[in-house]
Structure 1
Amino acid sequence: MLNRRLAATALAALGLAALAGCAREQAPAVDYVLLDGQKASSRDWNGKVMLVNFWATSCATCVKEMPQVVATYDKFKGRGFDTVAVAMSYDPPAFVAKYAETRKLPFAVAIDNTGTVANAFGQVQMTPTTFLINKRGEIVKRFVGEPDFAALHGLIEQLLAEA
């Protein structure tokens, strides 16, 4: 009888742990402005795996990782994956535009001049900070600093395979 109770307790604990592992935070609903002045919204992300990268032209790590962010976008873009690079409020828009133009960034670049987007994502202050969001709009992973891109690619593959 005691073994059955222990087994039942263990199974219940495992069930709660599994359930807790499945509970993910929804990405915030945000509206933002792209470099070209076009308005966009996180509602446009529905059904996509999204990489949301908070960065600044003055951030050495951001500049160092950007070619890998571009390579990640290029690798997965045809499979329901997209990227938006959100320039921090303190980054002069002219610097962001020049950087995006000279580096030929192939994905959307947003200017968060009021800090609204960074605040919605949990008061992002350190750059780079990157969020990986699944097709259901849930935050799967938050990276502070440069991600391990091999591991990131593996996670993106998994998320793209989900229904």
Structure 2
Amino acid sequence: MTTSQRTWIKPAAIGAAVLALAGIGYATFSQQQQAPDVTFITIAGQKISSQELRGKVVMVNFWATSCATCVKEMPQMVETYNKFKQDGLEFVAVAMSYDRPDYVLNYTETRKLPFKVALDSGGDLAKQFGDVNMTPTTFVIGKDGKILKRYLGEPDFASLHALLQKSLKS
């Protein structure tokens, strides 16, 4: 092998390796993850399993009454739910394990939250949704039970509405 042949083989091998890794990364991140199989227990004591929600577009919002961003975004979450509920949107607001149940109940009643509110007393729901520890964290789950989008912090409501509109029509 000549010196000129050796000089292009190494960069070509590196380039091929980078392309292969990029392809693996794209394939990994482009596949949608299945939402966990969980049961929500609402503040009214109602049990809702994720299996019951299959066939519907679902928003799951992890929040806390002590979270300023959660409190700020909640009126827009209510507007979003009210805008899309007639199209079949389901919404479960999950209060974090550290949130006092009496605070959650008071907040829900005084703000007249129109969707289901669940308690995550043991933190199991947050764990099953990928160790949620930042609030707010919102998941949009498609009719097939796959997570379409995960929002950390307050979502861009225009893009959220576009995603919901598209998902509810399919």
SS of structure 1 residue aligned to 2:98: coil
Paired residue for 1:122, among 125, 130, 147? 130
Correspondences of 1:1-163 after superposition (within 5 Å)? 23-162=31-170
- State how far apart, in whole Å, the 2-side matches of 1:80 and 1:20 are: 30
Cα distance, 1:158–1:17 mapped onto 2, change above 3 Å:
farther
What is the deviation of 1:39?
Answer: 1.5
Q: Deviations over 1:3-33 (max 9, x none)?
A: xxxxxxxxxx9xx999767621000000121
Structure-2-length-normalised TM-score: 0.83
SS of structure 1 residue aligned to 2:58: strand
Structure-1-length-normalised TM-score: 0.86
SS of structure 2 residue aligned to 1:109: strand
Over alpha carbons, which structure has the higher Rg? 2
Q: Deviations over 1:58-113 (max 9, x none)?
A: 00000000000000000000112110000000000000000000000000000000
SS of structure 1 residue aligned to 2:52: helix
- State how far apart, in whole Å, the 2-side matches of 1:18 and 1:119 are: 25
State the partner residue of 1:6: none
Please report the RMSD computed on the Cα atoms of aligned residues, expressed in angstroms. 1.8
Question: Sequence identity, in percent?
Answer: 57
SS of structure 2 residue aligned to 1:125: coil
Please say if residues 48 and 81 of structure 1, whose CA atoms lie closer than 8 Å, have aligned partners that are also in contact: yes
